[in-house]
Amino acid sequence: MANIPADGKTRADWVPAIANINAPTTTELNAGIRVSQWTTSDGLVGFRPETADVPTSGLEDTFDTNTNGRRSYSGTMLRFRKQSGSDVVYTTMTPDAEGFIVIRRSMPAATAYASGQPVQVYPVICCETAWIDPEPNTVERFEVPLKMTDQPSLRAAVA
């Protein structure tokens, strides 16, 4: 099997409504905004779960054992390049806006959604936009921190 280069093959969309996060429809996905076209190259931040440890060792044990506990996300956000004129991300992903971040990997980002494609669906609420401090030789940037409002579907497929 060959490795899949990631460059140009990650798509992220802001989708306002999804009825079944395990099987979003192409209609629902096409109603979203392809926000990855405006993210920085490192702009998909914190979309990896952390699993807490639950200790299972007893008083007489001589080795510490654990099992899986709760899963959570921290530091989840999208980092964007500010656009001139009407910036659709800046005006759409405002504080308290609820929706879904849908991430599709391993195929060209501009490829249209089609039935059977694997996607990850994250139910989120937007936090306050955070401007990144200006620095030389870069464009204006801002971050939209996100909170998970429900358990995501990491192995969903487009219906």
Token reading at 62: 């001589």
First CA to last CA distance, the chain: 27
Percent of the chain at pLDDT above 90? 94
For residue 54, is it within any domain? no
100 C-beta neighbours (distance < 10 Å), count:
23
Is 37 part of a structural domain of the chain?
A: yes
Counting the structural domains of the chain, the total is 1
- pLDDT category, 17, cuts 50, 70, 90? very high
Range of the domain at 123: 10-44+74-157
- pLDDT band of 79, cuts 50, 70, 90: very high
Q: Does residue 143 sit within a domain?
A: yes
CB-based burial label for 114 (10 Å; 0-12, 13-18, 19+): exposed
On whether the CB atoms of residues 8 and 109 are closer than 8 A, the answer is yes
Q: Which amino acid is at 121?
A: V
Q: Over range 16-42, report the average pLDDT.
A: 97
Residue-wise pLDDT for 104-145, tens only, equals 999 999 999 999 999 999 999 999 999 999 999 999 999 999
**Is residue 66 in some structural domain?**
no
Is the pLDDT score of 1 beyond 90?
A: no
